[in-house]
Amino acid sequence: MALPSFFLRFRNQLLADPKFLAFAQRFPLTRPIARARSRDLFNILAGFSYSQVLYACVSLRVLEHVGQTGISPAQLALKIGMTENKSDVLVRAAVALDILGWSKGKVALGPHGAALLGQPWIMRFIEHHKYFYRDLEDPVALLKGQSVEGGLRSYWTYEDGESDKQGYSELMAASQEAVSQQILGAYNFKKHKNILDVGGGPGAFLRAIGQENPHLALHLFDLQGVISLVEGDSKSQKLILHSGDFRRDPLPQGMDLISLVRVVHDHDDDVILATLRNIRAVCSADTTLLIAEPFAGNAANAAVTDAYFNLYFTAMGQGRTRSPKDIAELAAKAGFGSPKNWATNLPLITGLMTLRLIR
């Protein structure tokens, strides 16, 4: 909730006053607040260092080496190819961040490390951050539109014949497993017969939906370069494949459910509007449009959607996070209405909304 302007000015004047800060740090009732604010500010300042500790642990397979039983500091140093002194620097940093811990003199998993080990897709995502770090080397240049060679823009190139489709398809598949579980927990697919996943990459979402709903006919639409990868994947035998550009090429008809899973936030308004109009052309009165992605506009998730994802999309060269209201307004221009939000267990991973044709 936004603060009244007079209160905001008063608060900011106090926080900028060295005498007040010194008083707040001494006074017993305000001391805990002052200390917490100092920690919060320092965590913002040092956040780049924390992310590098996490990246080092993941890229060196530290969590796998530690495992559920733990490992001696000397053994870990040997496995990751470091001197014991340098390995100790990494271990102590990871322990401070709850990635690692100690158990009877052994290096053990911390709560964050144990959670990561159980969700390999997050570690895959962390590994690909090496491209993002190149873009963030000069954030001012990034925000001024000065692209960096070898960053996210080159990694996430969607056009046929360019970029590493195998790499980003594998990353999409890994991340969509977690997204799929959130969607399955929030939405009932039993009433549908045919689902078309537009821009669905390697089909991980459709496979997850199909396992829980074997009655569904599973249609996947994506670029030919991506579809070619899916054709060679034995896990995707039940998928009905269609290739083309979802902005303009004809989509298959006869679907009562069409999904855009983590597609809308990847693109600018003009691309999404063209895509929605293309989808509308094959919709009937019974068709439901399902959109799933992290939504902006939620204060609890603002650090993720606004401070992380929007910088990420800036580096990627397209896209932005949108609130459900933003998406509903964009969809209305393409002829969709009746927006409905569905509560997911972890909105941080994905939100969910459905729309129907405007009659």
CATH number of the domain residue 32 falls in:
1.10.10.10
Specify the higher pLDDT residue, 291 or 297: 291
Query: Residue 317 is inside which H or E element, if any?
Result: none
Burial profile 186-215: b = 16 or more Cβ within 10 angstroms, e = fewer: bbebeebebbbbbbbbbbbbbbbbbeebee
Domain boundary among 67, 85, 118: 118
Q: Does 294 share its domain with 176? A: yes
Q: Does 128 share its domain with 95? A: no
Domain boundary among 58, 84, 118: 118
What is the 3 state secondary structure string of 53-121? HHHHHHHCCHHHHHCCCCECHHHHHHHHCCCHHHHHHHHHHHHHCCCEEEECCEEEECHHHHHHHCCHH
Q: Does 148 share its domain with 278? A: yes
Q: What is the pLDDT of residue 160?
A: 45
Specify the higher pLDDT residue, 189 or 232: 189
Specify the higher pLDDT residue, 151 or 190: 190
pLDDT tier at 167, thresholds 50, 70, 90? low
Structurally, the chain folds into a number of domains equal to 2
Residues whose CB is less than 8 angstroms from the CB of residue 201 and which lie 6 or more positions away in sequence, other chains included: 168, 169, 172, 173, 176, 222, 226
Residue 5 confidence (pLDDT) above 80: yes
Residue 181 confidence (pLDDT) above 80: yes
Domain that holds residue 73: 5-118
Span 286-313, average pLDDT: 93
Specify the higher pLDDT residue, 346 or 29: 346
Q: Does 134 share its domain with 112? A: no
What would the pLDDT profile of 117-164 be if each residue is shown by its tens digit? 988 888 888 998 998 999 999 999 999 987 667 788 877 765 544 445
What pairs with residue 216 in β-bridges?
Answer: none
Q: Does 17 share its domain with 57? A: yes
Q: Does 15 share its domain with 111? A: yes
How is residue 325 written in tokens? 């209201």
Q: What is the pLDDT of residue 336?
A: 97
Domain boundary among 118, 140, 157: 118
Residue 339 confidence (pLDDT) above 50: yes
Q: Does 100 share its domain with 126? A: no
Residue 192 confidence (pLDDT) above 90: yes
Of the given ranges (105-119, 144-158, 178-192, 323-337), which has the lowest mean pLDDT?
Answer: 144-158
Give the integer Cα–Cα distance in Å for 164 and 250.
26
Of the given ranges (159-168, 255-264, 284-293, 297-306), which has the lowest mean pLDDT?
Answer: 159-168
Span 203-228, average pLDDT: 93
Q: Does 57 share its domain with 152? A: no
Q: Does 94 share its domain with 143? A: no
Give the integer Cα–Cα distance in Å for 146 and 153.
11
Which CATH number characterizes residue 244's domain?
A: 3.40.50.150
Residues whose CB is less than 8 angstroms from the CB of residue 175 and which lie 6 or more positions away in sequence, other chains included: 121, 124, 125, 262
Kindly state the DSSP code that residue 305 receives in the 8-state scheme.
I
Give the integer Cα–Cα distance in Å for 304 and 251.
33
Q: Does 60 share its domain with 164? A: no
Q: For a pLDDT cut of 70, what percent of the chain falls above it?
A: 92
Give the integer Cα–Cα distance in Å for 247 and 279.
9
Span 240-263, average pLDDT: 96
pLDDT tier at 234, thresholds 50, 70, 90? low
Give the phi and the psi of residue 193 in degrees, each rounded to 5: -115, -35
Diameter of the chain measured on Cα atoms: 70
pLDDT tier at 21, thresholds 50, 70, 90? confident
Q: Does 234 share its domain with 95? A: no
Q: Does 104 share its domain with 152? A: no
pTM listed for this prediction:
0.85
Q: What is the pLDDT of residue 51?
A: 96
